[in-house]
Amino acid sequence: MLPADLSLTDPLLLAQALIRCPSVTPDDAGAIAVLETALTRLGFRCHRLTFSADGTPDIVNLYARRGEQGRNLCFAGHTDVVPPGNGWSRDPFAAEVVDGVLYGRGANDMKAAIAAFVAACARRLQAHDGSLPGSVSLLITGDEEGPAINGTVKVLGWLAEQNETLDACVVGEPTNPRTLGEMVKIGRRGSLNGCLTVWGSQGHVAYPHLADNPIPRLVALVQALIGTPIDQGSSHFQASNLEITSIDVGNMATNVIPAKAEARFNVRFNDLWSGETLEAHLRQRLQAVCDDPALWDLAISVSGESFLTQPGPFTEVVEQAIRSVTGLSPDLSTTGGTSDARFIKNACPVLEFGLVGQTMHKANENCSVADLEALTSIYERVIDGYFACKA
């Protein structure tokens, strides 16, 4: 529960309240209720949205908006966290502050950033007689660290059904490698997973002519995938990268030629490709080595397409807010993994900026209280700057 006398202008207090909800995906553990209470107190209209799908857990999400007119600036994030794991020197859900550092699962990724944005809204309201310069909203999911099926995607679908438009979005994922203000993510690489299965026929190792060993063929096919770079990168993206993540035969016998061998891989790809064109390119490489479709199979799944928010007025607003607080000019980057920005980019321009990410998903996850305060000031300037910008 959120204490009635808790000051919403202090991001630390709300961050602690959120961290004390052990909301390991898919368990909400009261985190959405804490946030909903805070936003309702600030005059936001809140919609708690629970979505379901066969074979996946129900997920509680929240969409909250204050203001009805003009452009809608959205902040997106997630209240779910990964399991705490072992190796903590303190309770991962106690939200202790020690020597100016807030510890807890979610302190870095990304409950503290949510608290910073709420505090930025609260300060803006306090300083301007209860008004915001335009429509401000929050899209918060409990499914970012999970399968991402009943979270942001379905909230966006619900918004479309309600004729609710997002005009720009800041995702509060931790984006800075070492120092707050170093990096803004203006895009992300796509992610393609592949499973290459190669068929042969089982037999005795002493009689190889009576069998067909699939392993040498698998080795040749894998070499076709990794032997030459996929591309050299593009103006805003590094080169696409294919990593073999598993090679498995499942054969425990020393005197048996197996009938099947399998390799799994992931490709993080840039904006030179779509998932579809990249799959076609990979199949061409494999067919050049073995053109018999009966001898191998490639199963592909794409968990996210690459995207880029072109530098312009929106990115400049965020850059200026960062410079005014930290004195740093951030890199506009597309590095790293995927986030829910990969879904939001279909609705509006989106970028990511949050805390320093060195401890996310680790034991003793933490954030500097000074960084939390600075992030709140940056978000407050983003709100003012966005609505002051004509474009």
Q: Starting from the edge strand earliest in sequence, which strands make up the sheet with 366-368, in order?
A: 97-98, 101-103, 366-368
Residues 173 and 108 sit within 8 Å (Cβ to Cβ): no
Buried b vs exposed e over 375-390: b needs ≥16 C-beta within 10 Å?
bbbbbbbbbbbbbeee
| 305 catalytic residue (yes or no) | no
- The residue assigned the tokens 């809608």 is 72
**DSSP symbol at 290:** -
Distances (CA, A) of 173 to 76, 109, 336, 341: 9, 6, 11, 9
Task: In whole angstroms, give the CA distance from residue 243 to residue 264.
Answer: 9
User: 10 Å Cβ neighbour count for 373?
Assistant: 16
Question: Exactly one of 36, 80, 109, 164 is catalytic; which is it?
Answer: 80
What does the alpha-carbon distance between residue 353 and residue 124 come to, in Å, rounded to a whole number?
19
Q: Are 274 and 246 in contact (CB under 8 A)?
A: no
Neighbours of 316 (CB within 10 A): 13
Active site annotation includes 143: no
Query: Which of 28, 143, 144, 164 is the catalytic position?
Result: 144
Residues 253 and 8: their CA atoms lie apart, in Å, by 64
Joined tokens for residue 325? 């607080």
* Contact criterion met (CB below 8 Å) for 103 and 372: no
Rg of the chain over Cα atoms, rounded to whole angstroms, equals 24
> What are the catalytic residues?
80, 144
